[in-house]
């Protein structure tokens, strides 16, 4: 079971991200849903920090995260939960603010027991091919992997 992030392109605007963790699904799910835990690992590359971490873990609940680097550059994310089936699955909508908001990105995340660990699968449905290409060109995969390495140490 690989402990490194993988990405698979689906159609013109879909993306599937997979990553395995050593911890059980309950612990990995909790780390995604509790702001005090998210702040500890969801910071991206070194030199970045999460400056805002607000979420209401319920259907219709709001999400608002913000990050800033040591040079004062930053971005934020807003959205809302559509479904939550703890500790197995979430569905949410998110918009990146760079500073203008991107179109809605629908993300279904599953937390599946694999041996003694967890396989996370994120199915993203972006609004179009251009948005997906911009997201991939941003280096988001490297930032996600660094954050996920922190999560693996935390759980």
Task: Tell whether omega for the bond before 24 is within 30 degrees of 0, i.e. cis.
Answer: no
- Predicted local distance difference test score (pLDDT) of residue 63: 98
pLDDT at 141: 85
Would the pTM of this model clear 0.75, i.e. be above it?
yes
pLDDT: is 84 or 141 the higher one? 84
Contact of 63 with 80, CB cutoff 8 Å: yes
- Distances in Å between the Cα of 26 and the Cα atoms of 12, 19, 33, 57, 100 are 33, 15, 11, 15, 35
User: What value does the mean pLDDT take over residues 70-93?
Assistant: 95
* Residues 13, 104 contacting (CB under 8 angstroms): no
Distances (CA, A) of 88 to 11, 109, 154: 26, 8, 19
Tell me the CATH architecture of domain 6-154: 2-Layer Sandwich (3.30)
pLDDT digits over 103-126, tens only? 899 999 999 999 999 999 999 999
Sign of CA dihedral 95, 93, 19, 41: positive
Confidence (pLDDT) at 3: 67
**Of 19-33, 42-56, 102-116, 133-147, minimum mean pLDDT range:** 133-147
Contacts of range 57-63, beta carbons closer than 8 Å, 24 or more positions apart: 57/33, 57/81, 57/84, 58/84, 59/83, 59/84, 63/92, 63/94
pLDDT band for position 1 (cuts 50, 70, 90): very low
* Sheet containing 89-97: order of strands: 6-10, 14-21, 117-125, 105-114, 89-97, 74-85, 62-69, 48-55
Q: What is the pLDDT of residues 46-69, one digit of tens each?
A: 889 999 999 999 999 999 999 999
Question: What value does the mean pLDDT take over residues 86-98?
Answer: 93
According to DSSP, residue 109 is labeled E
pLDDT at 79 over 70: yes
């Amino acid at each position: 079971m690989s402990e490194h992030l993988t990405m698979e392109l689906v159609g013109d605007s879909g993306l599937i991200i997979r990553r395995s963790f050593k911890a059980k699904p309950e612990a990995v799910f909790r780390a995604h849903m509790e702001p005090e835990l998210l702040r500890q690992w969801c910071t991206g590359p070194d030199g970045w920090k999460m400056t805002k971490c607000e979420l209401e873990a319920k259907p219709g609940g709001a999400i608002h995260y913000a990050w800033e680097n040591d040079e004062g550059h930053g971005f934020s994310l807003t959205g809302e939960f559509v479904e939550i089936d703890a500790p197995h699955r979430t569905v949410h909508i998110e918009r990146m603010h760079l500073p203008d908001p991107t179109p809605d990105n629908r993300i279904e995340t599953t937390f599946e027991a694999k041996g003694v660990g967890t396989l996370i699968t994120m199915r993203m449905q972006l609004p179009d091919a251009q948005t997906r290409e911009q997201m991939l060109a941003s280096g988001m995969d490297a930032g996600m992997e660094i954050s996920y390495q922190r999560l693996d140490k935390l759980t």
